[in-house]
Amino acid sequence: MNCVIPGVNIKVFGRAVQSLSKIGEELYVEPLEHGLALRTVNSSRSAYACFLFAPSFFQHYDDGSGQTTNGSGKEEGEEEAIRCKITMKSCLTVFKSVYTLEKTVERCKIKLDMTESRLVFQLHCRHGIVKTHNLAFIECETLQAVFSKDMCPNSLTASARLLCDAVQNFQNNQEEVTLIVKPDKILLKNYVEDEPDPTKVMHTELRLEPEEFDNIQVGVDSEITFCLKEMRAILAFSEATNLPVSLKFETAGRPIVFSIDSDSAFEANFVLATLADTMTQQGGSSNVPTESKTSQKRKHTSNSRTSVKAINKSQTSRKETESMNIGRANETEEQSVRINEHEDSFLSRRKPNNKSPDHEGRSNRLNAALSELMNDDMDDIMLDQETREEISKQPIPPELGTKSVSGRDRITTRSPVPSTSRENISPLIPLQSSKPQIFNITTEDVEMKENEEEEEELVPGTPPSKRFRSMFFGSQSSTITQSSQRTVTKELSVLAEDTDDEG
Amino acid sequence: MKDQMALSTQQSNDDDQYLLLAKVDNVRHVSTILKAIHFKEIATLFASPMGLKVTVEDAKCVQANAFIQETIFHHYIIKEEQVTFKINLTVLLECLTIFGSSAVPGVSTSLKMCYAGYGCPLLLILEEDGVLTDCSIKTLEPDEVLDFNFLSTNVINKIIMKSECLKEAFSELDMTSEVLQILLSPDPPYFRLSTFGNSGSTHSDFPKDSDMVESFQCTQTQTNRYKISLLKPSVKALALSARVSIRIDNRGFLSLQYMIKNEDGQVCFVEYYCSPDEDVDEADH
C-alpha cells in the first residue's frame, strides 16, 4: 500500500480517524482496489464503523496488490494486499489536532513498510518539516459487519446540524436514545432503563418536524433504541464535513445504519445495534410460533457444542454467585450464556468462510446470507425466546402473565447443577443455526471452533446486560450494499476480528 | 515597624534597610517568566546588579534558569554583589498572581519586592486599582546548584529557530517513549526529534533550509537521548518563547535557550540544561 492524501483532504481523514476513535480501540486498515477502508468495532461489538476512501480522494493511490493487469492474477494479488490493524491510540497521535493538521500539513503519505513491519504515516508539513510515524501493526483479517441498508423500509436523511441540535438536548451521560418513526411524526427521546421509580428519571422527548429532513421514507412504524455515544461520533464527523447523514433502519433489534456519502470521494457507514425491545417485539413475534419450535430443536441438535460451553460457564458463574438467591444466579447464567452465543455466531460465520476457497461454496453461502437478510422470521423467533426470558424477570402487563409464569417456573425449577437440559433454555439462538446452508460446516470446522473457543475468554465487565443484537458481524451482506459484485466474492473470505487478542 | 512600612505606598526611607529592592509596573513581566521554569516547588534565587536569576533543578540532570534582567524593573537596587536564597516557587507564583494571572487590558498589577537579608522573608507588595496585597514569604538556606560547565567553545552543533514549529513537535511528543532522541547533523536529516513509544517510533525532521531555521551551525553528526520526562517541562518556556537556540556540546549536554518577549516588547531569557541519557554516539572526542 502506498497512498498520498492531499492537504485539502487531510482534515477529512483526520476527522474520520477521530470519529472512529470514539467507537473502537483498534483501527483496521485495509487497502482495497476501490479505496482505502478504515474500520473499527466497539468492545461490546454492538457498533461498527467503516470509512471507505475512494482512490479519487487521494493524490496517489496504490493498494499494494501488485499486478492488477491479468484477469486471474487479480484475485491473487488482492489476497496479498496486507490488511492490518493498529491501536486507535497510536493512530490518534498522528491525527491528534485537526486544527494543526489543517493549518500545517501539505500532504500525508501512508505506506506499509514490510521490511520494518510498520505502517508509516508521513506528514509533510509547512516549512519543509516532515513528521514520520512508524506504527506497529498486527496483520489481521477483514473486519466486516453484516448489514444491509438497501433493503431497509425506513430511511431518513437530514443535515448534521438538525441532528446535532436534537442530540444536544440529551445529557452527556445519557446512554441510549429511542427513535420513533411513524408516517406522521418523528420522535427522539431518551431511553430509560428499568428504573425502580420511573418518575424520578428525567425524560426528554423531541418531536422533529418532518419538513426539516431532506428525505423521509417510512415503510413500517418503528421504535428503535441505540447508543447515543456512537451516534455522537457520527454526527461530529458529519457536522465537521457538513455532509448530510442518512439513517436506514427497520424495527427494533435490527441494526440501524448511518451513512455519509461524499460524491465518490469517500463514504462512511456506521452500523449500530438496536435494542431488542420486549414490548414492541411482542406483537411481531406472535405470527411465527411454529417456526419457533423447530428452530429451537435445530439449535438443540446442531449447537450442542455451544451448550456444553454454556454449561461450563454457568457452573462457574454459579460458584461466584453462591451467596445470592437463586433467581439472581439464574440471571448471571443467562448473561454468560448469551455472551457465549455471541462469540459463537462470530466464529461460526467466520470459520467456514475462511476455509472455503472454492467459488461454488461461496456463492452458496452468499445466497444463504442473502436469504437470511431478507428473512426476518429468525430474528422474531429469537426475540420471542428472548422476550419470554426477559418477561419472566420483570413485572409485566397482565396479558403476558401466563407466559411469564411458565418462564419463571422454568427458571426456578431448574436443577442447581444444570445438565443437558440446560441447552433447552439457552436464551438466544444464533442466527445461522436455523439456516441449513450454514450448517454445512464440516466436523473439522467445528472442532476448530471448539479449540478457538477455549482460548477465548469472557471479557470482564462486558456482559450485554441490555439486549443489543450485537451480532450482525460476520461476512457477506455489507459487500452487497457497499460495492460492486466483484468485491463480493473477494470479501467473502472476510472475517470478524482475529481471535488472538480476545483474551 | 516592618508591617507599618509595608502598608505604606509612599517611597520611604525605610527602604534603605533592604539589600534588594525591585519594583515593576506589571507583575506579569515577572510571573510569566517564572511560570516557564515552574516544574519543581523549590527555586533558588540569585540577585545581582544585572538582575534576577531564578534556578530550578530536577534529578540532578536538568536545570532551568530564568533571567529577569535589571531593565525589566523600573526600579532596581541591590546593595551587595550577590544575594542568594531559596524560596518556594509555587507560593511565590501564587502571590504574584493573587490578582489573577490573565491579562486584562488596561489593568496591571504593580509589584514591589524587598529582601532585607539572610534569614529574612521576601516581602511582596502588590497593588491593583488601589487594592493592596502584602505578602511575606519565608526564604530558605541556599544550596549549591549544579554547574553544567557548558561552555560555548565546546559546542559542536547549534541551531537557532523560531519556536512555532517546535511547539507543535513538543506538544505532540509521544509520552509513552522514555527518551527524546535529538539528532543534529550537517547532513540530512539535519535536525531530527525521535521518540520510541509503545505504538512505534515517531520522527520529526526539520530541514536546515526551512524558513523556521534562522541559524544552522552543525559541524558533525550527533545523536543523543534525553529523558523525555525531564525535557517535557521545557514546553512551558517553549510555549512563551519566540525563538529557541538548541546547542549540544562535545559531552552531549543539551542547552535550550528560549527568548521570551513580554507584552512591552522587552526580551527575557529562559535556559534549560539537560544531561544526556546515554551516549549513543561514541564519535565525539
One-letter-per-residue 3-state SS of A11-55: HHHHHHHHHHHCCCCEEEEEEECCEEEEEEECCCCCEEEEEEECH
B130 pLDDT more than 60:
yes
- Is the CB of A131 less than 8 angstroms away from the CB of B204? yes
- Closest listed residue to residue A121, CA positions, set B203, B41, B40, B24: B203
- Is the CB of A127 less than 8 angstroms away from the CB of B212? yes
Per-residue pLDDT at A464: 45
Cell of A273: 445495534
Q: What is the mean pLDDT of residues A131-150?
A: 85
Per-residue pLDDT at A426: 37
DSSP A244: -
- Which percentage of chain A shows pLDDT scores above 90? 25
A342 pLDDT more than 90:
no
Q: Give the residue on A whose Cα is nearest the Cα of B173.
A: A93
Q: Give the residue on B whose Cα is nearest the Cα of A118.
A: B200
Higher pLDDT, A350 or B37: B37
Sequence-ordered alpha helix ranges (H) in A86-227: 88-94, 98-104, 160-167
Q: What is the mean pLDDT of residues A289-309?
A: 37
Per-residue pLDDT at A278: 58
B140 pLDDT more than 70:
yes
pLDDT tens digits along B99-125: 987 777 888 899 999 999 999 999 999
Higher pLDDT, A27 or A76: A27
Q: What is the mean pLDDT of residues B184-209?
A: 92
B78 pLDDT more than 50:
yes
Q: What is the mean pLDDT of residues A1-29?
A: 92
For the beta sheet containing B62-69, the strands, ordered from the edge strand earlier in sequence to the opposite edge, are B139-140, B83-88, B42-48, B51-58, B62-69, B267-274, B254-261, B243-249, B155-162, B213-218
- Is the CB of B199 less than 8 angstroms away from the CB of A118? no
B115-B117-B118 Cα angle (round to 5): 130
Higher pLDDT, B257 or B17: B257
Per-residue pLDDT at A352: 38
Q: Where are the domains of chain B?
A: 2-140, 152-274
Q: Give the residue on B whose Cα is nearest the Cα of A116.
A: B200
CA-CA distance, B89 to B41, in Å (whole number)? 5
Higher pLDDT, A458 or A86: A86
CA-CA distance, B46 to A201, in Å (whole number)? 62
| Range B2-140 has CATH code 3.40.1190.20 | no
CA-CA distance, A292 to A306, in Å (whole number)? 19
Q: Which member of B202, B207, B211 has the closest CB to residue A132?
A: B202
Query: Is this complex scored with an ipTM above 0.85?
Result: no
Q: Specify the CATH number of the domain B152-274.
A: 3.70.10.10
Own/partner pairs, A411-419, CB within 8 angstroms, 24+ separation: A411/A327, A411/A330, A412/A326, A412/A327, A412/A330, A414/A330, A416/A318, A416/A326, A417/A315, A418/A311, A418/A314, A418/A315, A418/A333, A419/A311
B51-58 and A215-217 beta bridge pairing: unpaired
- Is the CB of A129 less than 8 angstroms away from the CB of B200? no
For all residues of chain A together, what is the average pLDDT?
Answer: 66
Segment among A50-54, A287-291, A393-397, B202-206 with least mean pLDDT: A287-291
A484 pLDDT more than 70:
no
- Closest listed residue to residue A300, CA positions, set A423, A148, A205: A423
Q: Where are the domains of chain A?
A: 2-139, 154-254, 279-467
Task: Give B227 to chain A, closest Cα distance, Å.
Answer: 20
Sole residue written with cell 488472538: A500
In single-letter form, the type of residue at position A60 comes to: H
Q: Mutate which of A96, A111, A134 to disrupt the B interface (most B C-beta within 10 Å)?
A: A134
Q: Mutate which of B163, B176, B183, B199 to disrupt the A interface (most A C-beta within 10 Å)?
A: B199
How large is the greatest C-alpha to C-alpha distance in chain B, in angstroms? 67
Q: What is the mean pLDDT of residues B45-74?
A: 94
Q: What is the mean pLDDT of residues A131-148?
A: 86
- Closest listed residue to residue A6, CA positions, set A51, A56, A50: A56
Contact A35, A16 (CB under 8 A): no
Q: Give the residue on A whose Cα is nearest the Cα of B190.
A: A129
Q: Give the residue on B whose Cα is nearest the Cα of A135.
A: B200
B20-24 and B110-115 beta bridge pairing: antiparallel
Contact B125, B132 (CB under 8 A): yes
Q: How many angstroms separate the first and last alpha carbons of chain B?
A: 61
Using 50, 70 and 90 to split pLDDT, how confident is the model at A114?
Answer: confident
pLDDT tens digits along B152-173: 999 999 999 999 889 988 888 8
Highest-pLDDT range among A147-156, A157-166, A376-385, A425-434: A157-166
A253 pLDDT more than 70:
yes
Chain B residues with CB within 8 Å of chain A CB: 165, 168-169, 172, 174, 189, 197-207, 209-212
Q: How many angstroms separate the first and last alpha carbons of chain A?
A: 30
- Is the CB of A134 less than 8 angstroms away from the CB of B212? no
CB-CB neighbors (< 8 A) of A129 in chain B: 165, 169, 204-207, 210, 212
CATH topology of domain A2-139: Proliferating Cell Nuclear Antigen (3.70.10)
Per-residue pLDDT at A80: 59
Instruction: Compute, in degrees rounded to 10, the torsion defined by CA atoms A278, A284, A287, A291.
Output: -70
CA-CA distance, A259 to A248, in Å (whole number)? 8
A476 pLDDT more than 60:
no
A324 pLDDT more than 50:
no
A328 pLDDT more than 60:
no
- Which percentage of chain B shows pLDDT scores above 90? 75
| Range A154-254 has CATH code 3.40.190.80 | no
A89 part of contact set with chain B, CB < 8 Å: yes
Fold agreement (B2-140, B152-274): yes
In single-letter form, the type of residue at position A224 comes to: I
Task: Give A244 to chain B, closest Cα distance, Å.
Answer: 32
